[in-house]
Amino acid sequence: MKELDIGEVARRSGLPASTLRYYEEKGLISSIGRRGLSRVFRADVLQRLSLIALGQSAEFSLDDLVAMLDAEGQPDIDRQRLNEKADELDRTIERLSAIRDELRRVASCPAARHIECSKFQKMLNAIGTGDIKRKTGKGDLRRRGS
C-alpha cells in the first residue's frame, strides 16, 4: 500500500496540514507512523477526506462524522441519522425559501425608499406583531405557524 506524507496529503486534498492534524486528533483519520518529523498516511486517507468533505457539505458536524466510524475507523453510517439530517435540511430549505420570498417581495417594491414601501411596512409590522419570528441565533425569520 502506498504511503503519503502529510505534505503530499495536504497537496492532494487541498487541506492545510493543520486541518489534517486536527482531523487526526478528532479521530477522523489516523497516521500510520512518521518519516522523520512528518506524519505518514496510507493512500486511502484521501478517500476518507472525501467522505469527511461530503459529510460536511451535508451539514454534519465533525463529531457526527466521528460517530459514523466503526472501531476500525471504517464508515458505519446510520441510515436513520441520514434520514433525520435530510428532514432537517428540508426544514432549512423551507425556512430559507420563505426568507428569499420575503426579500424578493420587498425588492420588487416600486417606492423610492423601502421605508415608504407598503410591502416593506407589512413585513416590519409582521415582525413587530410576532407574525414573523425574529432571528434567534439560528437564522429564524419565518411566518408564525410555519
* Cα(25)–Cα(115) distance, integer angstroms: 52
Q: pTM here?
A: 0.67
Supply the pLDDT for residue 134: 58
Percent of the chain with pLDDT over 70: 87
Domains annotated on the chain, with CATH? 3-67 (1.10.1660.10), 92-129 (no CATH)
Supply the pLDDT for residue 130: 63
Mean pLDDT of 96-103: 86
Mean pLDDT of 102-126: 82
**Following DSSP, what letter does each residue of 49-73 receive, concatenated?**
HHHHHHHHHTT--HHHHHHTB-TTS
Q: Starting at the edge strand that comes first in sequence, how are the strands of the sheet with 38-42 ordered? A: 3-5, 38-42, 33-35
Phi-psi group of 130: left, alpha or beta (phi > 0 → left; psi -120 to 50 → alpha; rest → beta): left
pLDDT exceeds 50 at position 145:
no
Where are any strands of DSSP class E within 16-62?
A: 33-35, 38-42
pLDDT exceeds 80 at position 22:
yes
Mean pLDDT of 45-62: 92
